[in-house]
Structure 1
Amino acid sequence: MKISPLLTKVSVAATAVPLLVSSIFIEEAKAEMFRPVFAGQEDWVRVTFKEGKHSIFANSPRAMGNVDISLYDSSGQCLLSSNNFGPDWLNFTVRRRGTFYVKYRMASCFNPFGPCKVSLKFF
């Protein structure tokens, strides 16, 4: 697996092509709610990281679902992924400022009233 010159790898992989939903620039720790999704659905967020150590934390509030996350470089190559049952973390070091894509996927959703909410926290 080829690693982006922008990133120092800490975890492992998957595949896909980004479809953008929102875009954010990370200067400091930030938590946001993103578009709720049903089980099996996914969505994407474009993120600009500055040089340094970063983490991404993903969960579904009130434990209504199980969110998996993956980090892609600007060419669409998966760099890191996490698919734990429960909250997921990605920890990595960015060598120089760049644009990345975070794919979040709802592996399971236990909300009987609709899609499950998604919270992504960037550190």
Structure 2
Amino acid sequence: MKVRNILRRASVAASAIPFALVSVLSQPARAEMYRSVSAGQEDWVRVTFDEGRHAIIANSPGSLGDVDITLYNSSKEYLMHANRFGTDRLDFTVSQGGTFYVKYRMATCANPFGPCNVSLDFF
């Protein structure tokens, strides 16, 4: 699995993966911090998934924001979304590997010092 943000981002190693998740999803986890965004702002990430089961988890470290995520195919056609308050998760199966896009949007941000951080975990 390859992940590429359209804008530059800082990498963060995935230090802990829940055992139950590892046993269900055979792909290695990859947690990364992405461009911080304020309430109402969004950004896009291009991702390459192999055939198989995958998950994307989005959150705002420090619980200052609420990140919503939407998955699109290589033509940027809508596939699915998650917009719960707090941590959002998408679970899906890819029948044919290829390029996908993830749009993340900060629904709310309570950081008094600026934009909220965004973490996306790909499994």
Give yes or no for TM over 0.5: yes
Provide the residue aligned with 1:9 in structure 2.
none
Distance 1:39 1:80, change over 3 A: same
1:20 aligns with 2:17: no
Contact map agreement 1:71 1:80 (CA 8 A) in 2: yes
Matched positions, count: 102
Structure 1 unaligned spans of 5+: 1-18
Q: Does 1:58 align with 2:54?
A: no
In 2, the alpha carbon distance for the partners of 1:99 and 1:75 equals 9
Give TM-score scaled by structure 2 length. 0.79
Query: Sequence identity, in percent?
Result: 63
Following TM superposition, the consecutive aligned residue runs of length 4 or more in structure 1 with deviations greater than 3 angstroms are none
Over the aligned positions, Cα root-mean-square deviation in angstroms equals 1.6
SS where residue 62 of structure 1 aligns?
Answer: coil
Runs of 5+ consecutive residues of structure 2 not aligned to the other structure: 10-26
Matched with 1:109 is: 109
RCO higher in 1 or 2 (8 Å CA, sep ≥ 6)?
Answer: 1
TM-score, length-normalised on structure 1?
0.79
1:43–1:103 CA contact under 8 A, matched in 2: yes
CA contact (8 A) 2:8 2:35 kept: no
State how far apart, in whole Å, the 2-side matches of 1:108 and 1:90 are: 19
Q: Which has the higher strand share?
A: 1
